[in-house]
Amino acid sequence: MDNENIVAPEEAVREAAKEGPSGAGKGVGAILRRLRMEKGWTLQELARASGVSVGMISQIERDLANPSVRVLTAIRQALGAPVPAVFSEVAPSRASGESGDPAFVRRASQRPFLELGSVRKELLTSSGHHHLQMMILHIEPGGHSGKTALSYPAEKGGMVLSGELLLKVDGREARLKEGDSFVFDSALAHSFSNPTDKPTQVMWIIGSVQLDRHL
């Protein structure tokens, strides 16, 4: 991992303040701490593997800071955790009879969620292991994926459900409006933001790809 991506401990508090409000993690910190402990790693080991500083990881785990999409992705990938593993599950409602649904169904009322400051993710994919992950991104006005571009082997696609999305891929950018769709190679540096003063909703799809495509 490139050391230039590591945030110095003394900068962790300042970055945390920018990433999201205190206490807004809604369980993501506890989930990441559990995943780290299950792997038997110290904070220092996770920091080295992810390129995120010890100070930042510590604050995220205590729900004192909200990670950006980029930071959460770096930590999740270092832990070897699939996308659904970092979402907060919603217990099935017995009254509605949804607890007896087949495994391929995900009810609207039972979508796991993930709060990342200015971005909220709702998981649409049903439970279990899948090579395809679908979600809805709710992006607040001015919200974005993080200060550093994302990049990892996968394919991404989606469609703007409402509002506008500024999508940047491999140095090029497009301002997408309601109904516009996209597909791109996630190994290319990419980022997104909501450039307007109104909320944006995006159908977001991630498909895993064979490693040999990127060798």
Return the pLDDT at 209.
66
Contact 151, 214 (CB under 8 A): no
Return the pLDDT at 206.
95
Q: What does the pLDDT look like over 72-131, one tens digit per residue?
A: 999 999 999 988 889 887 655 554 455 688 989 999 999 999 988 899 999 999 988 888
- Residues 70, 26: Cα–Cα separation, whole Å: 18
Helices (H) and strands (E) in the chain, counts: 5, 9
3-state secondary structure of 88: strand
Alpha-helical (H) ranges within the chain are 9-19, 28-39, 43-50, 54-61, 69-79
How would you label 24-45 residue by residue, b for 16+ Cβ within 10 Å and e otherwise? bbbebbebbbebbeeeebebee
Q: What does the pLDDT look like over 25-51, one tens digit per residue?
A: 348 999 999 999 999 999 999 999 999
